[in-house]
A and B are shown apart, each in its own frame.
Chain A
Amino acid sequence: MATTLDAPPIVPAEIEHMSGRMAGIWNSFILRRLLKALFTAFVVVTLTFFLIRLLPSSPIELFIQELMVQYSMPYHQARDQAAALFAIDLDQPLILQYFDYLGGLLRGDLGTSILSPGTPVTSFIKRFLPWTIFSVGLALIISFTTGVILGLVMAYRREGWIDHILTVIASILSAIPNYIFGILLIIWLGVRWGVVPVAQMRGSLSPGVHPGFTLYFLKDALFHAALPITAYVLTTVGTWMLTMKSSTISVLEEDYVTVARAKGLTESRITTAYVGRNASLPLFTLLAISIGFVVGGSVLIETIFQYQGIGYVLLQAINRRDYVVMQGVFLIITLSVIFANFFADMLYSWVDPRIKFGSQE
């Protein structure tokens, strides 16, 4: 017995290994994710370029054809104009054009709009992208939080009437396409019942209101974003609720929840720090996919509500065949999603310490 008592404490080998390099590993997790994001961005930029150039009906060729037909321009003139607008020198070999294009991107040059001559694509982005980030970001936060809380309630009240009602609602919500929700909101709230002034809510701000740190501006911005946000929230919250419910149900069966009860912790502490936090982890992995979906959907939602965000600009450009804007805006939307995914990854590594060690990579 004496021998066991005097024995040196067991040095946990794993800990020695990990805490020594913990900061390093965490940093390298960020680094890994950052590299992945940059690589994805590079691939997307490359794809976009070659898509535009090499597709059988490449936008440049289409545009040249259009110029020739509409303005009866000779081919070389149409071609020069196209090259100027796309910020591409069509006489160079493709690979050099590609490097020019990359160089232009790095200088922030995305070309100039075809239909609004003289307006660089970047100025569209500066003007319209913030509204999309604002409305989509706010909607995601509202939807995620609501979904987590309601999912938790559903799991705790499992098989009760609250659970049944919320499950039905969530299932229906998650099955309805977002643009149909937009149409329904306009039909019923705007036109039939007339409770919401749909026409005044168009645009991203009322005339005469300027961005600034004022309550007036904030209220107006929310007023105009309210309908898109409602549509985003209603169409995404169902999925969060159902995922959170099933995740919570499985966490409630975990031993550590029983141990937490055995330790006499308060029910509120168990619900938040033990059940809620662990049950929400799978939702963070879904966040990345959801960001892409909502941002993609913004093209339709912003058009339906005439909310002037970047999605609205994209659909207009598509409909009006403004290929330069189309290309630039698509690139920016994709890069925003890549950045948002990187952000979601960071968030996830912050809520789940295990992820930093690459064990769930």
Chain B
Amino acid sequence: MNAVAESWAASMPRTAPAFASVAEEHLDGVFAYLLYLTGDRSLAEDLTGETFERALRRWRRFDPRRGTAKTWLCQLARSAALDHFRAERRRRHREEAAGVEREETEPVFGEGLSAQLEAALRRLSAGEREVIVLRVLLDLDDAAAAQLLGISKTACSTRLSRGLAKLEALVGGEIRV
């Protein structure tokens, strides 16, 4: 390797971190995001695996200057989840047309959550849970979360406030489980 190539390699960590370290660092975050988004633990696991497969395939296209690895992975996870939701909606349409009963799943949003909070989270929509997990659990800032959701920062903040207020209202006794 010549001097120029060495200098190029030295600059690599800044521009392209190793995929393994990125996966290790953000696995929990991506899983939590997908769990909150889907409300289904096994589905979240499947989608997390699919997300990292996609990430591996597209790793060469990742540009750290355009956003953090966490944001990029969450975008891939969101895309995978949306694909799943679309497929699920089509499946539900077919099953409803055929008179098939919908299969209920028991979501688990995390160890140590109170039953009330668990139930309250279950009552939120996927969109409301999404902004909560991004801003509260994954600690994404306004700009990154807004970019991921495809909305403005103001809209992102508003959506978070409404989601938390609704969650608080649901936990505060108005909820009927």
B and A form one assembly: no
Which B residues have a C-beta under 8 Å from some C-beta of A? none
